[in-house]
A and B are shown apart, each in its own frame.
Chain A
Amino acid sequence: MLKYAAIRCALLLPSLCIIAVLAFALSQAIPGDQAEALMIQQGISPDSKRAEAEYLRNYKSLGLENPIFYFSVSPQYYPTNIHSIISREERQLTRELLKSHFSFQKISAYLSARNLLVDSLPTLSESAGTELLKKRVFYAVHPDSLRLLQQQIRTKFTHSRITSPVADAISDMLEHRQNVYYPVLHWHGTSCRFHLWISHLARGDAGSSLRDGLPVHEKVGKAFVWTLFLAFTSLFVSLCISVPSGVLAGYYHRKAWDKVSHIVWMILYSMPVFWLASLLIVYFTSDQYGSWLHIFPLPGDWYIASGESFLTTMSNYAGQMILPVLCLVANDIAVLSRMIRNNTIAVKSKLYFLTALASGQSDRVLMQYTIFPQVLLPILTTMAARLPSALAGALIVEVIFGIPGMGRLMYQSITGADWPVVLGILMVMSLISMLVMLLTDLLNAFVNPKIRKALT
């Protein structure tokens, strides 16, 4: 048993590693520049004077100058690490120029000559060709436009100390185009973004949010309390309703209650969570359709005041909690009561049940002492299997009712491109559901002698 548990625990690690790699790849694949996003979050417009310096500072502080993974594969004329070019403009230009198969050495020579020219553009005498030259210097990336720039410099701006190196660099670049290319493996070692992220994560530091600079573990922890509270409340409520309903429906199989409850739960099950939530919000939280319908408070500010105990806070929110819990429960009740009903029917065909029945026990005793303990066990597995979907259902409910839980945090972070938080949540969620699956397997083995015997 212990050996089995140890093996299962050890097997968690590779799965978690794979999830970490996948989640990280996902976060790196999003379009957009993280440093720029952070800059905008800090309230600095990209046009302001401080923008350039601030961008560079963010770029370095986010560790973006490091390569993404431990190794990379690229054609031979590519730089080892394109991210080490700190200037944003230069990096984008290099990317574009590399697509025309220019070698990186020649590109950097061209770019340094071009930068000199750009810096001294204001000093150039105003003439008919200068405007065109400016335009071409800024926008030329395609080989044809580069050739045009080179021709213009050769014909109009000869013998200049500033312009002729550009023309020379262009011709050098065009002559050494790498039309034949082969893959080269670059090994970056441990100074890569993934390694930095995962090593920090292993030490318990998941980085800080791009939106407000708070540490990720703090944000996720705060949100987690709410989600956990919501999940446990709804679980408790749904068990309170579904266990009696399911046992009764199974015990009086094909009688009135079985049929009625089946139809009602089926309807509730098929109701999309967000429809139910929208209906409840539209009808019960405003005066628009009559003040007598305005029963529940409008879902509004949810925050845990510092210094207040958890229970006091929760009792303050009890009124606001009713509608979200109702939405979450609707789906669970259907699944659970159906399962319990089927288990009850299965128990009814067992011999020990017949013995109890034949001994003349009342219905209540039979249900309470013979059936109830038997149907509880399978619920364990179902609950664990439904945990991911329960968390997803909580996402919509949290967003609709504005509860600051994990789902809402995830939603806000994805729409706000706050990738450190998204990564943190993904890792926490997968870890939790894996642990829960593991725990239920172990518990099942611990409780059920049959499974335990099969394992050892």
Chain B
Amino acid sequence: MIKKMIHQWDFWVVSMFVAIALLAPFLSGKTPILCAGTQGVSIPLLGIGSHREGITGPCTNQWHLLPVLAYDARDIDRQSLAVPPGSPGNVASWRYRHWLGTDGLGRDIAAGLIHGTAVAMIIGLLSVALAFMLGTTLGMWAAYSRYTKPKASILQLILAFTGVFLIWFYTLADWSMTDDSFGYGLIGGLACFAWISVCFSAIDRWTGRKTIPIPLDGLLVKCIEIRKSIPGLLLLLAFTGILTTPSKWTLSLLIALLTFTEFARYSRAETLAAMEENYVKSLHMLGLPMSVILRKHILPNSLPTLTGVAVFSIAGAILLESSLSFLGIGLPVEQVSWGKMLAEGRDLRHWWLVVFPGFLLFLLITGFHKSAERSLHQDDTPQL
């Protein structure tokens, strides 16, 4: 598989972006990578070794290895504001040149691009990973519920609802002064999960005979329909209005919550298709539990499609984040991102602020789209 991928340009594009994101601190910044001298060898960037004075600045009187670019994304060079690329600018030596120019505040564009790659990749990968897990689980479960036809007695439902309500009331709702709201939230969430599993598994045996079917599939379809009726960017805008300080973590969580319906839709469709196949039917008749059939048989078979959707969604999530930054709403001011550079370039009419980040974004999206297309392996069906 790897041998095949080496000959594809999109593989190289995607891995280049991943490499830049991973190696961002090694590529640009002030902290030396390696210092060697009388005190021994140290790696200040990773906090290894006894090197003390040079943690933020260059090492003195020692042999050292510095990152390729002398600037960090946040460093402000007041001497050179809005320097176009190629011009020597007002710097001491070639090492401190701004190869791709600077923005209106004097921040280096090349460094900004490198750290912007890291931000984009983190948001893209994290949000898609979360959305994939949530959406695929829900979609497959809902589709398979056509076989299992989940039912619950009224007692079970009442118990589950009261339990969740009480857990919400005593842990999640903020009735008192607590500093550790995250801890309470975690405990509350786990307790809810545990209580629901207890309600629908252990209590199953001694509840009454009168049961009502739970339309899991119908609920999911309704949920997807509602989500699809409002544009994602609008919803994201509205949600960021609530968050006072959106960080890249909360932003990826938000994007994941808005995009998981896509995975639910595809995995549901794939599972429904697989359930028509004879192997799933026979597995079901053999009496294998749902979790095994879904995990060991249906998931591996629908993985090519889901991977394709996931790769598409990574590009989509990155695009969503940069649109948000471009509109000036997303990440905090000090966080450098491609979208913000573009917005500044548009305002100031500086071509280097528009061309470089935009081209990187374009390259990344093209690479991801191409590899998603390959993963889907459907040359003649609609795929754009």
Q: A interface vs B, CB < 8 Å? A: 15, 18-19, 22-23, 26, 29-31, 73-75, 98-101, 181, 183, 265-267, 269-275, 277-279, 281-283, 286, 288-289, 334-335, 338-339, 342, 345-346, 382, 388-389, 391-392, 395-396, 399-400, 410-411, 414-415, 417, 422, 425-426, 429-430, 433-434, 437
Closest B residue to A340 using CB positions: B382
Assembled-state Cα–Cα distance A26/B345 (Å): 33
Query: Are B175 and A270 within 8 A (Cβ)?
Result: no
CB-defined contacts of A22 to chain B, threshold 8 Å:
226
Report how far A15 CA is from B365 CA in the complex, Å.
34
**Could you say which residues of chain B place their CB within 8 Å of the CB of A26?**
238-239, 242
Q: Known contacts being A274-B342, A437-B229, is A269 close to B369, with CB within 8 Å?
A: yes
Q: Which of B119-167 contact A (CB under 8 A)?
A: 165-166
- A15-B229, A99-B175, A422-B238 as given contacts; A335 in contact with B244, CB under 8 Å: no
* Least distance between A223 CB and chain B CB atoms (Å): 13
> Quick check: is B180 within 8 A (CB to CB) of the other chain?
no
**Closest beta carbon of chain B to A104's beta carbon, Å:** 13
Q: Is residue B57 contacting chain A, with contact meaning CB distance below 8 A?
A: no
For chain B residues 168-199, which have a beta carbon within 8 Å of chain A?
169, 174-177
Q: Which residues of A sit under 8 angstroms from B231, Cβ to Cβ?
A: 388-389, 391-392, 395, 429
In contact, A345 and B228 (Cβ under 8 angstroms): no
Partner of A19 from B226, B240, B351 at Cβ < 8 Å: B226
Q: How far is the CB of B104 from chain A (nearest CB, A)?
A: 14
The docked-state distance in angstroms from the alpha carbon of A391 to that of B350 is: 29
Given A272-B323, A392-B232, A417-B241, residue A183 in contact with residue B169 (CB < 8 A): yes
B interface, size bucket: 35 or more
B27 within 8 A of A: no
B283 in contact (CB, < 8 A)? no
Q: Please measure, in the bound complex, the distance between the C-alpha atom of A181 and the C-alpha atom of B173, giving whole angstroms.
A: 13
Interface pair A433/B230, CB less than 8 Å apart: yes
Contacts of A430 in B (CB 8 A): 226, 229-230
A279 touches B241 (CB 8 A): no
Q: Mark B343-384, 1 if CB is under 8 A from A, else 0.
A: 001100111001100100110011001100000000011111
A283 contacts which of B326, B351, B370 (Cβ < 8 Å)?
B351
Given A272-B358, A426-B238, decide whether A99 and B366 contact each other with a Cβ distance below 8 A: no
Chain B residues lying within 8 Å of A74, measured Cβ to Cβ, are 175
Is B19 an interface residue, CB under 8 A from the partner?
Answer: no
Answer whether A181 and B229 are a contact pair too, CB < 8 Å, given A272-B322, A414-B238: no
Q: Whole-angstrom distance between the alpha carbons of A433 and B225 in the complex?
A: 10
Residues of A contacting B166 with CB < 8 Å? 183
Q: Are A75 and B362 in contact, with the CB atoms below 8 A?
A: no
Contacts of A289 in B (CB 8 A): 351
- With A and B bound together, what is the CA distance between A78 and B119 in angstroms? 44
Residues of chain A contacted by B380 (CB below 8 angstroms): 342, 345-346
- What are 25 A-B pairs at a CB distance below 8 A? A15-B226, A75-B175, A100-B177, A183-B165, A266-B370, A267-B366, A271-B362, A272-B323, A272-B358, A274-B323, A275-B342, A283-B351, A338-B383, A342-B380, A388-B230, A389-B231, A389-B232, A391-B234, A392-B233, A400-B346, A410-B237, A411-B237, A425-B234, A430-B230, A433-B229
Residues of chain A with a CB closer than 8 A to B174's CB? 99
Say yes or no for B327: interface residue by CB 8 A criterion. yes
Complexed CA–CA distance, A165 and B71 (Å) = 64
Q: Which residues of A contact B381 (CB under 8 A)?
A: 342
Given A183-B165, A414-B237, A429-B234, 7 new contacts (CB under 8 A) = A270-B365, A272-B322, A392-B232, A410-B237, A414-B241, A426-B234, A433-B228
* Docked-complex contact A282 and B351, CB < 8 angstroms: yes
Per the bound structure, the CA–CA distance linking A31 and B245 in Å amounts to 11
| B319 interface hit (Cβ, 8 Å) | yes
Is B384 touching A335 in the complex (CB atoms < 8 A)?
Answer: yes
Closest Cβ of chain A to B254, distance in Å, is 12
Determine the distance from Cα of A382 to Cα of B232 in the docked complex, in whole angstroms.
Answer: 18
Minimum distance in angstroms from B157 CB to a CB of chain A: 19
Give the CA-CA distance A26 to B234 in the complex, in Å. Answer: 12
Q: Say how far B230's CB is from chain A's closest CB, in angstroms.
A: 5
Q: Is the CB of A278 within 8 A of B345?
A: yes
B222 within 8 A of A: yes
Closest A-B pairs by Cβ, 7 of them: A275-B358, A392-B231, A392-B233, A270-B366, A278-B346, A388-B231, A430-B229
Q: Are B351 and A281 in contact (CB under 8 A)?
A: no
Chain A hits for B176, CB < 8 A: 99-101
Given contacts A278-B342, A429-B234, contact A270 B229 (CB under 8 A): no
Task: Flag whether B329 is at the interface (Cβ < 8 A).
Answer: yes
Output the nearest chain B residue to A74 by Cβ-Cβ distance: B175
**For residue B354, which residues in chain A have a CB less than 8 angstroms away from its CB?**
275, 278-279, 282
| Nearest Cβ on chain A to B22's Cβ, whole angstroms | 23
- B349 surroundings in chain A (CB, below 8 A): 281-282, 286, 288
Tell me the complex Cα distance, A193–B361, Å: 44
Q: Chain A residues with Cβ under 8 A from B323's Cβ?
A: 272-274, 396
| Alpha-carbon gap, A338 to B380, bound state (A) | 9
The docked-state distance in angstroms from the alpha carbon of A277 to that of B345 is 12
Q: When chains A and B are docked, how far (Å) is the Cα of A214 from the Cα of B232?
A: 27
In angstroms, Cα B173 to Cα A98, docked, is: 13
Known contacts A271-B362, A272-B319, A395 near B234 by CB under 8 Å: yes
| Contact present for A339 and B382 (CB under 8 Å) | yes
Residues of A within 8 A of B358 (CB): 272, 275, 278-279
Q: Report A-chain residues with C-beta under 8 Å of the C-beta of B226.
A: 15, 18-19, 22, 430
- B369 near A15 (CB under 8 angstroms)? no
Assembled-state Cα–Cα distance A289/B345 (Å): 14
**A367 vs B361: C-alpha distance in the bound complex, in angstroms?**
38
Residues 283-332 of B at the A interface (beta carbon under 8 Å): 319, 322-323, 326-327, 329
Q: Are A272 and B237 in contact (CB under 8 A)?
A: no
- Given the complex, which residues of A lie within 8 Å of B351, measured CB to CB? 282-283, 289
Closest chain B residue to A434 by CB distance? Answer: B229
Contacts of B177 in A (CB 8 A): 99-100
Are B346 and A399 in contact, CB atoms less than 8 angstroms apart? no
**Closest approach, in angstroms, between the C-beta of B142 and any C-beta of chain A?**
18
**Which chain B residues lie closer than 8 Å to A411 at the CB level?**
237, 327
Report the separation of the CA atoms of residues A15 and B239 in the bound assembly, to the nearest whole angstrom. 20
Q: Which residue of A lies closest to B365 (CB)?
A: A270
Q: Is the CB of A31 within 8 A of B244?
A: yes
For B239, list chain A residues within 8 Å (CB). 26
Contact with A along B203-240 (1 / 0, CB 8 A): 00000000000000000001001101111111001111
For B237, the chain A residues whose CB sits under 8 A away are 410-411, 414
Contact status A429-B322, CB under 8 Å: no
> A73-B169, A411-B327, A433-B229 in contact; A281/B234 too (CB < 8 A)?
no
Contact A392 B234 (CB under 8 A): yes
Across the interface, which residues of B come within 8 angstroms of A100, CB to CB?
176-177
- Within 8 Å by CB of B361, from A75, A266, A275, A400, lies A275
CA distance A334 to B322 in the complex (A): 21
| A109 nearest CB across to chain B (Å) | 21
Within the complex, the shortest CB–CB distance from A305 to chain B, in Å, comes to: 28
Contact code string B46-67 (vs A, CB < 8 Å = 1, else 0): 0000000000000000000000
What is the distance, in angstroms, from A435's C-beta to the closest C-beta of chain B? 10
| Given known A283-B351, A338-B382, A433-B230, contact A399–B241 (CB-CB < 8 A) | no
* A15, A181, A272, A425: the one within 8 Å of B222 (CB): A15
Chain A nearest CB, measured from B256 CB (Å): 18
